[in-house]
Amino acid sequence: MTAMTTDTKPSGDRAVDPVRPPRRLQFPPAFVWGVATASYQIEGAADEGGRTPSIWDTFAATPGKIQGGDTGAIADDHYHRYVDDIAIMKQLGIRSYRFSIAWPRITPQVTADSLGPVNEAGALFYAHVVDELLAAGISPAVTLYHWDLPQALEDAGGWTNRKTAERFGEYAGVVAALLGARVGTYITLNEPWCSAFLGYASGVHAPGRTDPAAALAAVHHLNLGHGLAVREIRAATRVAQVGVTLNLAWVRAATERAADVDAARQVDGLANRVFLDPMLRGSYPPDVLADTAAVTDWSFVQDGDLALVNQPIDLVGLNYYSPTTVQARETGGAALRADGHGSSAASPWPGCDAIDFPPQPGPYTEMGWSIDARGMYELLMRLHREHPTLGLLVTENGAAYADEVAADGSVIDDERITYLEQHLAAINDAIAEGADVRGYYLWTLLDNFEWAYGYSKRFGIVHVDYATLDRTIKSSGLWYANVIIENGFPLD
């Protein structure tokens, strides 16, 4: 049974100055208010409907990889409960739902050399999700890859193998043909930085490899896969908008020292420009190639690749949570790896061995991530300045807190509301200064499997009791419903 409240006002005491009226933020009339999820984090049903294992099934089953020994085998059981979950979205007034397709459900027999047949059960599942969303008045936004690569492709080299990019392009075309123009937005990749560097360099994400050269090969093949996917989506449906989601970093030098400023340049290259430049300019940054020359010679980039990567797209999605501060390491100093992506002896930054990531000032979320909404504004304005004709979406933003259910069954999460207010205000400021930000997808709808953290971190605006799988809308969910109704909110 789903625990839901019908009160549309957020709970909790949030003081308002009785003398000075609060500033009111308003968003453009067509601004899209959404929520985002990812398939492996919520679906469960890992061995149902013809689905075969993904790299996250394998990684989660490996002892010591996931906090608490958790897996996504059941997760939130969204596979069986999607109708109820969409009903919650409708109650909250959500206008758009960004969800991802589990590749192992669509072509479970894929190999490096063949996409294999389409799995009817998997295709029907996502068709039914789209049907239910449209019936509820919610626009579907589909992410084609949110990290759950079929294990069979990883066994053949994963994203270090060019054939994975080729199969991904074909898979994207299949999904676009199946769902067609009923989906208004297709997003090729979610956070390829994480896929490449956390998956193949630091090993804290699936597939858990620690090879910096492999990570850079994965970067290129993810970029190539993006371009091939855009081309196939365009061929399958000429109506939908197509884009990519990047977790761009707001990189700051710890001091004005030349060495720290250069450290920021290096990290900006690997965090941002190694994806932005090939996708939007058709070239890799020369300084990134030089910085990583001791790691790889980039011979995996073939003639014509960059033209394939540089496909016209309609929008870029920005995922933003926390700032990044860097400094050059003092001679003989101990390495500082407080970069917020789990613990690993291996660095996710190939070629940056003399760079440290010092601890950030507070306040912090439950993830230990420093809160600074200015980074949201700065990144949106950077995209606006560098690519002024490109549409922008905030495709993820949210915060984990140690939410607790009160005796009356409510979940009061005012800290999350404050975090969201600050970041929405930053978006509003960017819009006021000309950035074409078209929508916001809050991360996330449901508490879920938080990758290497298992079920220990809660990002949802809907609480999930993992013993019963009952859902309870938190005060942040009720607050967000009011934001949507008003297309804005008062800011103290």
What secondary structure does DSSP assign to 78-93, as a single string?
Answer: HHHHHHHHHHHHHHHT
What secondary structure does DSSP assign to 361-387, as a single string?
Answer: PS-B-TTSPBP-THHHHHHHHHHHHH-
What value, to the nearest 5°, has the Cα angle with vertex 348 and ends 344 and 351? 125
Q: Report the distance separating Cα 447 and Cα 143, nearest Å.
A: 19
Active-site position among 43, 191, 232, 378 = 191
Spell out where 362-476 has E strands: 391-396, 437-443, 462-464, 471-473
Cβ-contact 89, 7 below 8 angstroms: no
Cβ-contact 464, 470 below 8 angstroms: yes
Give Cα separations from 488 to 28, 374, 480 (angstroms).
Answer: 9, 19, 10
Query: Residue 222 is inside which H or E element, if any?
Result: helix 212-236
CB atoms < 10 A from the CB of 243, how many? 25
* Three-class secondary structure of residue 443 per DSSP: strand
Q: Report the distance separating Cα 478 and Cα 7, nearest Å.
A: 8
Q: Which two tokens stand for residue 18?
A: 């009785």
Q: Is 450 a catalytic residue?
A: no
Spell out where 77-182 has E strands: 96-100, 139-145
Q: Report the distance separating Cα 422 and Cα 371, nearest Å.
A: 9
Q: Which two tokens stand for residue 204?
A: 């804290």
Count CA atoms closer than 13 A to 84's CA, side-chain side: 18
Q: Is 378 a catalytic residue?
A: no
Active-site position among 366, 378, 396, 450 = 396
State the residue for tokens 């308002």: 16
CB atoms < 10 A from the CB of 237, how many? 17
Q: Which two tokens stand for residue 81?
A: 């409960």
The catalytic site residues sit at: 191, 396
